[in-house]
Structure 1
Amino acid sequence: MDLRQLEYFQMVGKLRSITRAAEQLHVSQSTVTLAIQKLEDSLAIQLFDRSQKQFSLTTEGQVFLQSVADILNRLQDATAEIQKYRQLQKGTIKVGVPPMIGSFLFPEILAQFTLLYPQLQLSIIEESSFALRQLLERGELDLGIVNLYQPTLLLETIRITTEEIVACLPLKHPMANRTTIDMKDLQNEQFILFKEGAYNRHVILEECKRHGFAPNILLSSDQIETIKGLVIKGVGISFLIRAVTRQNSDFAAIHLSNPLHLQFGLAWKKDRYLSKAAQAFIKFITEIICPPNTIR
């Protein structure tokens, strides 16, 4: 049994004539007759009553015709649905975003992408870069925006932006008016850092270690606004990327004398199938957001 046999059977069943069915299908009568015979042989049942001049469906043929109509309608709907995906009229992209990117860069990316592809939906998962890398490597995400701190053979990446880490101090802090600050000057402060797994936290801890001290970590959080609020209230100090602090005048954002930077990029698993929607997002990032020559 094949699809063409079902289509021929449906047309003959509808018109009650092989001749008229052949004309509608633009094939020979013998082609239609052979297809019907093969279909009956494969089913081991007679679909048409041939005792009269005009074909008529048997009881079994009537039942089968209803099922065939449903099958062909479903196939037509499925084909139309796939065409929507192919033409980017429909689709969902599962994208992972770390907290800091989610607070400043991703809203701009999302707004521009939505203007270009209003029919596509982005499903956002917010996790640390380390967690997102694992999800990408396991194939549980289509794409992810991650810190490019360590090359990996499993992921393809495109660099999006490089951001400076700044020290965030309460406005009443004695060092709040400085233009730069050395990490060793902060060794007696209470630190508010991102949770384990965040590369921002790793960078700060390594810098403290390089200056010969282990910081007093008062609190860990993945919520940008929580961290900002605690700094504003003088609970402790923190370290955020410069882009996150530009719109804030409630606390001091000070450059480190030994500048630290984070590189963010779009990543996806090398051997994972990418939908048309995911390919469109990568193309969008490559052509509109990224600097040239940044695909690794």
Structure 2
Amino acid sequence: MELRQLEYFQMASRLRNITRAAERLRVSQPNITVAIKKLEAELGIQLFDRSQKQLSLTPEGAVFLNRVELALRNIQDAVLEVNDYKQLQKGTIKIGIPPMMGAYLFPKIFSSFQRRYSHLEIFMHEEGSMSIREQLERDELDFGIIIISGASSHLQLLPMTKDQIVCCVPEDSPLAQKKSISFNDIAEENIIMLKEGSFLRQTILGKMKEENVTPNIVLESNQVVTLKGLVASGVGIAFLLNMVVEDTPGVKAIPLADPISVDVGLAWKKDRYISKAAQSFIDFCKDLLKERKANSEK
């Protein structure tokens, strides 16, 4: 039994698709298929039910996956710990950033961190907050700078700032004259929505459902600059965090009649070994918060 076989099996189980697993692992599809068949032959059991279009685990496969997940996580942590003992002057950090944080919050953090820890490398993965939470729990990322409101108890959280979801409308729209906006106010409006995996999308659609409002979604994008440009051009309205739309030409940000506040912060898996590289990033963020608090009290 090879470590590679277990990694292929784990990814295929998570994605329920051999092709997507091959793309994620950057190997050919036959490599994964052959590896899993060899694993099944060695174990003498069938790991997947292949009778359906989408892969699904057999009961035996589900039991095996639980053990494999734990074993692979322990191996990853062991490698990190050994590297720390070797006292290398380099390290890597994998961090997930939603588009809004990536464009408006993370650059300030990253530039300061890089100046202090130039020997460390950061690999940034851009995805929605909900998707990043899932990847943190699957040990695919070290950190996420995300909307942490309502996050899983399996994640350690470091709140960094609080913001409010606002409705973004064209400056020349009749809606721009309102002091606040309800979901009934925009029931007939075209909506430009963030894509699946976004906390804001899930929250707004949930609130609309509660109000029996059916959203008229005309476009979807995770590019914040594109969203704001479409709003300014009169294509539709959008829901974004207030910090990313302040002073945007052609766009008026209006609070919701029933305000929705969210906490933004750093998140990481509770039970994972924290490498020296990762700990340096946590300490840096804590120092940043202390400096911000000290400055605000002056």
Per-residue deviation, residues 24-55 of structure 1 (Å, max 9, x unmatched)? xxxxxxxxxxxxxxxxxxxxxxxxxxxxxxxx
Q: Partners of 1:153 and 1:176 in 2: how far apart? A: 40
Cα 1:129–1:84 change in 2 (3 A) is: same
Deviations 1:142-175 (A, max 9, x none): 1111222324232111111111111111112112
Q: Is the 8 A contact 2:147 2:263 kept in 1?
A: yes
Rounded to whole Å, the distance in 2 between the matches of 1:218 and 1:124 is 29
Structure 1: tracts of 5 or more residues without a match:
1-77
Please give the per-residue CA displacement for 1:114-168, whole angstroms capped at 9, x wherever unaligned: 2221222211000111111111111111111122232423211111111111111
Matched residue type, 1:260: I
User: TM-score, normalization: structure 1?
Assistant: 0.67
Kindly indicate whether the alpha-carbon contact (under 8 Å) linking 2:93 and 2:123 is maintained by their aligned counterparts in 1: yes
Q: What is the aligned partner in structure 1 of residue 181 from structure 2?
A: 181
Report the Cα distance in structure 1 between the residues aligned to 2:242 and 2:83, rounded to whole angstroms: 48
Equivalent residue number for residue 281 of structure 1: 281
Q: Give the distance between the partners of 2:86 and 2:144, measured in 1 at CA.
A: 25
Give a deviation string over 1:226-251, Cα, whole Å, max 9, x none.
11111111111001101001141221
Mapped to 2, the partners of 1:105 and 1:155 lie a distance apart of 21
| Larger gyration radius, structure 1 or structure 2 | 1
Which amino acid in structure 2 is aligned with residue 209 of structure 1?
K
Letter in 2 for 1:125: H
Give distance in 2, aligned partners of 1:169 and 1:182. Answer: 13
SS in 2 for 1:141: coil
Task: Give the superposition deviation at 1:178.
Answer: 2.5
Which stretches of structure 1, 4 residues or more, deviate above 3 A after TM superposition? 78-82
The whole-number CA distance in structure 1 between the counterparts of 2:186 and 2:111 is 38
Any conservation in 1 of the 2:148–2:267 contact (CA below 8 Å)?
no
TM-score (norm 2): 0.66
Displacement of 1:80 in angstroms is 11
Q: What SS is found at the alignment partner of 2:257? A: strand
Output the amino acid matched with 1:279.
Q
**Corresponding position of 2:208:** 208
Structure 2 residue 96 is matched with structure 1 residue 96: yes
Partners of 2:289 and 2:183 lie apart in 1 by 33
Aligned-partner Cα distance in 1 for 2:258–2:281: 36
Deviations 1:166-187 (A, max 9, x none): 1111112112133322221111
The corresponding residue for 1:36 is none
Q: Which moved more, 1:124-133 or 1:244-253?
A: 244-253
**Displacement of 1:92:** 1.4
Alignment of 1:263-282 (within 5 A): 263-282=263-282
Q: Distance in 2 between matches of 1:218 and 1:80?
A: 50
Shift of the 183–117 alpha-carbon distance from structure 1 to 2, 3 Å rule, reads same
Offset of residue 79 of structure 1: 9.3
What is aligned with 2:119? Answer: 119
